[in-house]
Amino acid sequence: MLRFVFAAFLSICVLPTMSSEALAQEADYRLEEVKPDLYRFVAGSYRSMVWVTDDGIVVLDTLNTEAAKWLKTELDEHFDVPVRYVVYSHSHYDHAYGGQVFADPSVTFIAHDLTRSNFEMSKADTHFPELTFSEDFALNLGGETLSLRYHGPNNGFGSVSMLFEDQDVIFVVDWAIVGRMPWTNLEGYNIEGMIRSTKAILELEWDTFVGGHAEIGERADVERYLAYLEALYGAVRDGMLDGKDLETLQAEIRLDEFSDFKQYDAWLADNIGGVYRQIADQSYILKRPEVAGE
Ligand SMILES: [Zn+2]
């Protein structure tokens, strides 16, 4: 019935005319099968997912107008069921734009309450979700279940984990990642929330992790990512409690057991700076009497 010719997908790779090298790289599109009925949409350094059920297709993150148009054409061409839902992972434009491409009265857009309110307050230029939730939400389709869970602040607004219960696949965007360092100086991130949220997904049942960037991994990869976050946070906090300034910490802290992570050399100092800034801003450690020397 709806199953498509997978080989056709693998051979498809387009490079539309773009003005800059960076954009051209972003426009390297392909769909990869992760598990039966579950696909990873790769768009340059970005990843989203597509879940194909007997009762319709669910698109998770539309990324941008160009990527969404390419994806819509592919889905129309290769499947004989329509897109019925779009799920946004969180509020950031570089994952949630392009929603208009799939907007239709027959398509329901789903996101966390905080994602929708951030879209409204910041006047985001994408299709706003009609269906929102505050904690967890289960989408049942074609006899299978996608569970969306909110774990508190971690990146942007309303960022959720997306668990395909029947395939044991979890999709997380930005705040957990496999094979690469967390993003530069952690702009827009909440380091304590990243740690809490990553622990929370490790409590769930799954065997395959798909990230919004970088590689597909297993539980051991996510455990190792969590170990990095905790080592990074602990090293920066302890240094701050010892009265060391940021420059000293950036010169002293080495976490070489994670040096195989992509961008380790390039981003370690930035990661340290991001954690330092958040501990200073959120925990007021530098203002504490025992640290400030008052
Ligand atoms: Zn991202």
pLDDT tens digits, residue range 226-266? 999 999 999 999 999 999 999 999 999 999 999 999 999 99
Rounded Cα distance between 232 and 236, Å, is: 6
pLDDT-derived band at 19, boundaries 50, 70, 90 = very low
Measured in Å, residue 96 CA sits from the centre of ligand 1 at 10
Note the Cα 188 to chain centre separation in Å. 13
Q: What is the mean pLDDT of residues 26-42?
A: 92
Measured in Å, residue 188 CA sits from the centre of ligand 1 at 10
Measured in Å, residue 239 CA sits from the centre of ligand 1 at 29
Measured in Å, residue 26 CA sits from the centre of ligand 1 at 13
Measured in Å, residue 167 CA sits from the centre of ligand 1 at 24
Measured in Å, residue 241 CA sits from the centre of ligand 1 at 31
Measured in Å, residue 3 CA sits from the centre of ligand 1 at 30
Measured in Å, residue 81 CA sits from the centre of ligand 1 at 29
pLDDT-derived band at 10, boundaries 50, 70, 90 = very low
pLDDT at 261: 97
Q: Is the pLDDT of residue 162 over 60?
A: yes
Higher per-residue pLDDT: 53 or 12: 53
Measured in Å, residue 244 CA sits from the centre of ligand 1 at 31
Residues near ion ligand 1 (Cβ under 5 Å): 174
pLDDT at 294: 66
Measured in Å, residue 39 CA sits from the centre of ligand 1 at 18
Residue-wise pLDDT for 107-144, tens only, equals 999 999 999 999 999 999 999 999 999 999 999 999 99
Higher per-residue pLDDT: 26 or 84: 84
Query: Which domains occur in the chain, in start order?
Result: 6-292 (3.60.15.10)
pLDDT at 292: 86
pLDDT at 133: 98
* Residues forming beta bridges with residue 160, ordered by sequence position: 150
Measured in Å, residue 92 CA sits from the centre of ligand 1 at 8
pLDDT at 169: 98
Measured in Å, residue 5 CA sits from the centre of ligand 1 at 30
Measured in Å, residue 128 CA sits from the centre of ligand 1 at 19
Residue-wise pLDDT for 168-226, tens only, equals 999 999 999 999 999 999 999 999 999 999 999 999 999 999 999 999 999 999 999 99
SS3 per-residue string spanning the chain: CCCCCHHHHHCCCCCCCCCCHHHHHHCCEEEEEEECCEEEEEECCEEEEEEEECCEEEEECCECHHHHHHHHHHHHHHCCCCEEEEECCCCCHHHHCCHHHHCCCCCEEEEEHHHHHHHHHHCCCCCCCCEEECCEEEEEECCEEEEEEECCCCECCCCEEEEECCCCEEEECCCCCCCECCCCCCCCECHHHHHHHHHHHHCCCCCEEEECCCCCECHHHHHHHHHHHHHHHHHHHHHHHCCCCHHHHHHHCCCHHHCCCECHHHHHHHHHHHHHHHHHHHHCHHHCHHHHCC
Residue-wise pLDDT for 43-100, tens only, equals 999 999 999 999 999 999 999 999 999 999 999 999 999 999 999 999 999 999 999 9
Measured in Å, residue 227 CA sits from the centre of ligand 1 at 21
pLDDT-derived band at 27, boundaries 50, 70, 90 = low
